[in-house]
Amino acid sequence: MTVHQPPYPASGGAVPPLELPYYGAPPVEAVKRVFQKYAVFSGRASRSEYWWWFLASALASAVLNSIGPTVVNGQPTGTSGLGGLWFLATVVPGLAVAARRLHDVNLSGWLLLLAVIPVLGWIALIVMLAQPENPRGQRFDRYPAAYGQMPSPPTYTPPQPPQPPQPPYRREPGGPPSE
């Protein structure tokens, strides 16, 4: 596997800026970055950032839902008020980190809409989220030129209207050109 950005050391080393994906992110740093970029759908997220977030969120949801399940008509529902609050607090950052993960694979974040298709959409989405990074995904970065990732796009200069022909200059021998 080719890594296009060097992995950063987990202990005391340099951490990439929030605008860049953190390849090889440790679990605590990955979860922290998701909350720091709470509703940021632009940019990219590494596989480790996404999957550590997914695992931490699933574990927290399981624990919070098992604390005190809501009872409806004498039957426990499997969810609790705390689990519902956790869902409401994490649905936006969860969607944002998934969209950034798709950007790192060079796919559109709109592919998250596949989640509305039962089973087949979920499987397709999991496969896409598990793909390795693609250097072409840098097109989704907000400031790629600031970090030397990609050259800035060429600026467009409109074509100039044709100029009328100039009369030929006559030059006298040994003197300056005359008009």
In tens digits, the chain (179 residues) has pLDDT values of: 444 555 555 445 678 888 889 999 999 999 999 999 999 999 999 999 999 999 999 999 989 888 877 767 777 777 778 888 999 999 999 999 999 999 999 999 999 999 999 999 999 999 999 999 999 988 888 765 545 545 555 555 666 777 777 777 666 666 666 55
**Residues in a beta bridge with 171:** 177
Q: Which CA distances in Å does 51 have to 26, 47, 129, 134, 147?
A: 11, 6, 9, 17, 25
Q: What pLDDT, on a 0 to 100 scale, did the predictor assign at position 130?
A: 96
Q: What pLDDT, on a 0 to 100 scale, did the predictor assign at position 114?
A: 95
| Beta-carbon count within 10 A of 48 CB | 18
**Residues in a beta bridge with 76:** 71
Q: Convert 78-103 into a string of H (helix), E (strand) and C (coil).
A: CCCHHHHHHHHHHHHHHHHHHHHHHH
- Beta-carbon contacts of 21 under 8 Å, excluding residues fewer than 6 positions away, are 5, 43, 44, 45, 46, 49, 100, 104, 133
Q: What pLDDT, on a 0 to 100 scale, did the predictor assign at position 8?
A: 52
Q: What pLDDT, on a 0 to 100 scale, did the predictor assign at position 88?
A: 95
Q: What pLDDT, on a 0 to 100 scale, did the predictor assign at position 109?
A: 94
Q: What pLDDT, on a 0 to 100 scale, did the predictor assign at position 119?
A: 95
Closest Cα partner for 34 from 81, 80, 97, 82?
Answer: 97
